[in-house]
């Protein structure tokens, strides 16, 4: 099969204003009678083409009469003379287990339509720019499937002969067919309600297994918060009388925004502080919000074609980021988002998977669902707001929603709508959607008497908003947001006598790499006084990275952390960000040829120094009551790590007490991880305790394995392979394999052990699991392909393992692709 290309887009020849589906679910198959009111698009003379795959066509009528048609592997073609017609089809298909179309999973029958699953349910123009008003009737056995759910508002229900029953659903708001969903089964429900600002009473429900209902409270609270937030911040009001989310165990597509009936993998929806970490709970909040926000930016205003995926995903991610920021610490959230962007998207930009936010081509549509489309897509929307200003951005979005409601729109249409309210600065903004890679900017500051001249040079030709400020030794002297549009540009600040410190890319205003010579003294000074938390955090991270590499004094880092902890005492989540050292992998990213061994030694030494120097503070933080909030818990856990790193005599006992008795999983697991990194005498007891308590919960047992694979101890390189011989390990359990091997590759000291044993271990596992789960194996193998960023001795060992994979007969195409690009 050839590549799919954005340029090949053509408007639809036929549209389908109204669709009625009658879906009958049986034990292992389903039957659909579809009635489509189709209309010819203006100027079109083409026959009607309907997509359909894996369907047995039992009947076809056009305007009530049988009609000649052509059936092939991917669909159905009918010649229709009139401009409008009623098309009726009857199809049957098995309820597959492939998780596409309509299928059985986790005790339920449910759907997966995005991007192209609907064609496995019925014949239809399966493309996002054909929006239809759907009416759905669902019939099934009443005992096995007492609950039958569809999109839209409830439109009747009744009993039938033979123990069957039906429900009907009316979705009056046009939607693309990928936003279609159906669920049948016997789930339990948590119910609630939300009254919109225009007085609409919305019935809310979260369906899950009965035993899991206590764990859906968090998601329900998130849903209500998201509905209120979208009204206040975007004027988006919910448009139907009900909204339901269904938790499906093992749902492979993660979560989908299907209209008024979202479907989520249970693991991404259900959570409770006793069994989920704060990070996981926040991810649930973000995802519930994300799918809800899609009701407007996704379902009502959808995308013209799949290459425009970033239009809905970038906007929804941007909105979920802002939503979470508003619920917690905005500065800590921004820092976390920046870390995630660097870890997932900047890394993608460096490898063979780099592509524009709006790609020009792809092999399969599924390939488009990645960090570049989602996370960089969100950064692009953020820059649009930054350049246009919040007022113009808000007005522009109102225009965008009003103008494109009920249609498939494009990224360009979003820019155009905002540009109407902020005309002068967005002419070239669309380049952000076309550009590949992380832009690099070099910044230099020179002084000419009381003027300062900032020179910015970029390696491309993008309009880049860069937040800048100049600080004197003690306070801010000037601040502006500059728009770098040319290759090289000077920006002049008047009346700023030196010496000056440059604070740049404040708030992380653009997703770029900044190169800028700043002395240790300058970084230290900025880390003390910069009033933008993101820039201040960045200065401290840069300083800490230098200390870890032996290029700066740890004393300056300690001083800066102490000051940040004082300044942010009221925002413990932010304080915890300031107190945490940069990840070893991020330090390596900044180097041409990283020596992971040296980074590990330096990291441990700096950690121990900080632990000792600030021990009284760590004790105080650890003594705080974790019940007071996630930020306090983050600091408590970090404090334990420092106390253990400093070898404080009772640190092991404190950690063991937390593993044993803390109320939240964040604290119990945080303490376990801290102990797993240490040589404390309590380590085996803690691991044993956590294992015995949580062995029946697969997700928690995964964490137990992961903590050991992530251990910073030098023996992890031999201890991790032994985990695979544990009776609770199976190569066939993807999450467990991911917990161990994914943890291990993220643990650069172990993965990059100088002996090369870490590379060999990963290669052995990848080759073994490739036969069972190729996609997972490919993901696990990817870190091996990054040899070109590592010092030559290790790089040679990594390449040898890559060659071993590539030379193994019968490996999957996914695995070959994951490592193949590294072949010289």
Residue ranges binding ligand DPP (CB under 6 A) = 114, 253-257, 290-291, 294, 313
Of 187-195, 314-322, 495-503, 629-637: span binding Zn ion (CB under 5 A): 314-322
List of residues 6+ apart from 671 with CB closer than 8 A: 637, 640, 654, 655, 656, 658, 659, 662, 686
| Shortest separation between residue 306's beta carbon and Zn ion, angstroms | 13
| Shortest separation between residue 254's beta carbon and ligand DPP, angstroms | 5
| Shortest separation between residue 259's beta carbon and ligand DPP, angstroms | 12
Q: Which does 255 bind (CB under 5 to 8 A by kind): Zn ion, ligand DPP, none?
A: ligand DPP
Q: How many whole angstroms separate alpha carbon 232 and alpha carbon 214? A: 29
Beginning with the edge strand found earlier in the chain, give each strand of the sheet holding 201-208 in spatial order: 188-195, 201-208, 242-248, 261-265, 255-256
Contact 29, 94 (CB under 8 A): yes
| Shortest separation between residue 309's beta carbon and ligand DPP, angstroms | 8
Contact 551, 479 (CB under 8 A): no
Q: Which does 256 bind (CB under 5 to 8 A by kind): Zn ion, ligand DPP, none?
A: ligand DPP
Contact 533, 331 (CB under 8 A): yes
* DSSP character string of 496-561: --S--EEEESGGG-SS-EEEE---HHHHHHHHHH-SSHHHHHHHHHHHHHHHHTTSS-HHHHHHHH
Closest CB to Zn ion among 212 and 313?
A: 313
Closest CB to ligand DPP among 255 and 387?
A: 255
| Phi and psi based region of residue 43 (left: phi greater than 0; alpha: psi -120 to 50; beta: remaining) | left
Residue nearest to Zn ion (CB): 316
Q: How many whole angstroms separate alpha carbon 609 and alpha carbon 683? A: 22
CA dihedral (515, 521, 527, 530) in degrees, to 10, reads: -80
Q: Which does 51 bind (CB under 5 to 8 A by kind): Zn ion, ligand DPP, none?
A: none
Q: Which does 665 bind (CB under 5 to 8 A by kind): ligand DPP, Zn ion, none?
A: none
Q: Mark 262-301 with x for binding to Zn ion (rule: CB under 5 A) and - for no binding.
A: ----------------------------------------
Of 311-319, 477-485, 551-559, 565-573: span binding Zn ion (CB under 5 A): 311-319
Q: Does 380 bind Zn ion (CB under 5 A)?
A: no
Q: Which does 149 bind (CB under 5 to 8 A by kind): ligand DPP, Zn ion, none?
A: none
| Phi and psi based region of residue 258 (left: phi greater than 0; alpha: psi -120 to 50; beta: remaining) | beta
Positions marked active-site? 291
Contact 179, 298 (CB under 8 A): yes
Closest CB to ligand DPP among 230 and 291?
A: 291
| Shortest separation between residue 289's beta carbon and Zn ion, angstroms | 11
Q: What is the DSSP letter of 790?
A: B
| Shortest separation between residue 293's beta carbon and Zn ion, angstroms | 8
Closest CB to ligand DPP among 375 and 750?
A: 375
Count of beta carbons in the 10 Å neighbourhood of residue 767: 17
Q: Which does 421 bind (CB under 5 to 8 A by kind): ligand DPP, Zn ion, none?
A: none
Q: Does 368 bind Zn ion (CB under 5 A)?
A: no
Backbone angles phi, psi at 280, to 5 degrees: -70, -40
Q: Tell me, by CB under 5 A, how many residues bind Zn ion.
A: 2
Of 274-282, 306-314, 690-698, 768-776: span binding Zn ion (CB under 5 A): 306-314
Q: Does 258 bind Zn ion (CB under 5 A)?
A: no
Q: What's the Cα-to-Cα distance from 249 to each of 141, 268, 592, 772, rounded to whole Å?
A: 22, 10, 43, 20
Q: Which does 59 bind (CB under 5 to 8 A by kind): ligand DPP, Zn ion, none?
A: none
| Shortest separation between residue 294's beta carbon and ligand DPP, angstroms | 6
Of 183-191, 307-315, 499-507, 745-753: span binding Zn ion (CB under 5 A): 307-315
SS3 137: strand
Of 305-313, 361-369, 394-402, 514-522: span binding Zn ion (CB under 5 A): 305-313
Rule CB under 5 A: which of 316-335 touch Zn ion?
316
Closest CB to Zn ion among 366 and 492?
A: 366
Q: Which of 16, 55, 63 is nearest to 32 (CA)?
A: 55
| Shortest separation between residue 337's beta carbon and ligand DPP, angstroms | 16
Q: Which does 702 bind (CB under 5 to 8 A by kind): ligand DPP, Zn ion, none?
A: none
Closest CB to ligand DPP among 310 and 548?
A: 310
Closest CB to Zn ion among 316 and 674?
A: 316
Q: Mark 187-226 with x for binding to Zn ion (rule: CB under 5 A) and - for no binding.
A: ----------------------------------------
Maximal CA-CA distance, the chain: 92
Closest CB to ligand DPP among 254 and 423?
A: 254
Q: Which of 395, 393, 388 is nearest to 427 (CA)?
A: 388
| Residue labelled with tokens 């991270």 | 541
Q: How many whole angstroms separate alpha carbon 662 and alpha carbon 463? A: 50
| Three state DSSP letters for 566-606 | HHCCCCHHHHHHHHCCCCHHHHHHCCCCECHHHHHHHHHHH
Q: Where are the alpha helices (DSSP H) in 353-389?
A: 371, 377-388
Closest CB to ligand DPP among 253 and 705?
A: 253
Q: Which does 114 bind (CB under 5 to 8 A by kind): ligand DPP, Zn ion, none?
A: ligand DPP
- Straight-line distance from the first to the last Cα atom of the chain, in angstroms, rounded to the nearest whole number: 26
Backbone angles phi, psi at 739, to 5 degrees: -60, -40
Closest CB to ligand DPP among 255 and 765?
A: 255
| Residue labelled with tokens 């309600």 | 193
Q: How many whole angstroms separate alpha carbon 279 and alpha carbon 739? A: 16
CA dihedral (553, 555, 561, 567) in degrees, to 10, reads: -120
| Residue labelled with tokens 């330090």 | 587
| Shortest separation between residue 254's beta carbon and Zn ion, angstroms | 9
CA atoms within 13 A on the CB side of 624: 24
Closest CB to ligand DPP among 313 and 702?
A: 313
Q: What's the Cα-to-Cα distance from 492 to each of 141, 498, 645, 776, rounded to whole Å?
A: 74, 14, 47, 52
| Shortest separation between residue 104's beta carbon and Zn ion, angstroms | 25
| Shortest separation between residue 303's beta carbon and ligand DPP, angstroms | 10
Which residues contribute to the site for Zn ion (CB under 5 A)? 313, 316
């Amino acid at each position: 099969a050839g590549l799919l290309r954005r340029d090949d887009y053509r408007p639809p020849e036929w549209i389908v204003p109204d669709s009625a589906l009658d879906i009958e679910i049986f034990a292992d198959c389903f039957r659909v009678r579809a009635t489509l009111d189709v209309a010819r698009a203006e100027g079109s003379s083409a026959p009607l083409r309907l997509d359909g795959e894996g369907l047995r066509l039992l009947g076809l009528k056009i305007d009530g009469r049988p009609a000649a048609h052509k059936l092939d592997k991917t669909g159905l073609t009918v010649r229709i003379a009139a401009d409008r017609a009623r098309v009726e089809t009857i199809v049957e298909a098995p309820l597959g287990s492939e998780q596409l179309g309509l299928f059985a999973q986790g005790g339920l029958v449910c759907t997966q339509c995005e991007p192209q699953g609907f064609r496995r349910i019925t014949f239809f123009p399966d493309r996002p720019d054909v929006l239809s008003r759907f009416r759905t009737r669902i019939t099934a056995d009443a005992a096995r499937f007492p609950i039958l759910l569809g999109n839209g508002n409830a439109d009747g229900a009744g009993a039938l002969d033979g123990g069957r029953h039906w429900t009907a659903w009316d979705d009056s708001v046009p939607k693309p067919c990928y936003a279609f969903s159906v669920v049948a089964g016997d789930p339990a429900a948590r119910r609630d309600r939300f009254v919109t600002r225009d007085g609409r009473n919305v019935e809310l429900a979260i369906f899950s297994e009965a035993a899991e209902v206590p764990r859906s409270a968090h998601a329900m609270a998130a849903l209500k918060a998201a509905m209120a937030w979208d009204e206040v911040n975007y004027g988006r009001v919910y448009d139907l009388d009900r909204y339901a989310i269904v938790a499906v165990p093992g749902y492979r597509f993660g979560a989908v925004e299907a209209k008024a009936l979202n479907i989520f993998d249970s693991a991404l929806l259900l959570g409770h502080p006793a069994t989920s970490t704060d990070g996981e709970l926040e991810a649930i909040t973000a995802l519930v919000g994300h799918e809800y926000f899609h009701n407007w930016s996704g379902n009502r205003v959808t995308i013209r074609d799949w290459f425009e995926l970033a239009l809905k995903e970038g906007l929804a991610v941007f909105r979920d980021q802002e939503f979470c920021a508003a619920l917690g610490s905005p500065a800590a959230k921004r820092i976390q988002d920046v870390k995630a962007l660097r870890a997932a998207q900047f890394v993608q930009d460096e490898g063979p998977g780099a592509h524009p936010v709006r790609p020009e081509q792809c092999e399969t549509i599924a390939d488009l669902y990645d960090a570049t489309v989602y996370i960089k897509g969100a950064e692009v929307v953020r820059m649009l707001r930054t350049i246009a200003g919040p007022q113009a951005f808000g007005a522009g979005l109102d225009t965008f929603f009003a103008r494109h409601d009920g249609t498939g729109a494009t990224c360009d249409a979003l820019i155009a709508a905002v540009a109407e309210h902020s005309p002068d600065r967005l002419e070239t903004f669309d380049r952000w959607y076309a550009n590949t890679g992380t832009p690099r900017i070099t910044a230099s500051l020179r002084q000419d008497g009381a003027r300062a001249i900032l020179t910015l040079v970029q390696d491309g030709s993008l309009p880049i908003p860069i937040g800048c400020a100049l600080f004197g030794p003690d306070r801010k002297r000037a601040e502006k947001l500059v728009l770098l549009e040319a290759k090289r540009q000077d920006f002049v600040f008047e009346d700023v006598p030196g010496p000056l410190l440059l604070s740049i890319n404040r708030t992380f205003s653009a997703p770029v790499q900044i190169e800028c010579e700043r002395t240790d003294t300058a970084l230290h000074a900025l880390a003390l006084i910069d009033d933008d938390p993101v820039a201040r955090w960045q200065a401290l991270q840069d300083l800490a990275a230098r200390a870890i590499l032996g290029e700066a004094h740890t004393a300056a880092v300690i001083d800066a952390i102490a000051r940040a902890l004082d300044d942010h005492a009221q925002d413990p989540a932010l304080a915890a960000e300031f107190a945490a050292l940069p990840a070893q992998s991020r330090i390596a990213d900044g180097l041409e040829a990283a020596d992971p061994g040296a980074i590990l030694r330096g990291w441990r030494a700096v950690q121990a120094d900080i632990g000792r120097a600030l021990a009284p503070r760590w004790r105080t933080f650890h003594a705080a009551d974790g019940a007071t909030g996630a930020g306090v818990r983050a600091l408590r856990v970090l404090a334990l790590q420092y106390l253990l790193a400093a070898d404080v005599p009772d640190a092991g006992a404190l950690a063991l007490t937390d593993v044993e008795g803390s109320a939240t999983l964040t604290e119990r697991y945080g303490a376990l991880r801290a102990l797993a990194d240490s040589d404390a005498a309590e380590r085996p007891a803690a691991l044993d305790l956590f294992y015995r308590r949580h062995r029946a919960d697969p997700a928690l047992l995964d964490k137990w394995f992961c903590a050991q694979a992530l251990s910073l101890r030098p023996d992890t390189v031999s201890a991790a392979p032994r985990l695979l011989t544990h009776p609770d390990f199976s190569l066939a359990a993807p999450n467990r394999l991911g917990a161990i091997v994914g943890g291990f590759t993220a643990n650069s000291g172990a993965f990059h052990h100088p002996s090369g044993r870490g590379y060999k271990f990963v290669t052995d596992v990848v080759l073994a699991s490739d036969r069972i789960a190729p996609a997972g194996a490919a993901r696990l193998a990817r870190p091996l392909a990054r040899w070109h960023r590592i010092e030559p001795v290790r790089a040679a060992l990594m390449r040898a393992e890559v060659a071993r994979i590539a030379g193994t007969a019968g490996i999957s195409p996914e695995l070959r692709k994951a490592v193949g690009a590294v072949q010289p």
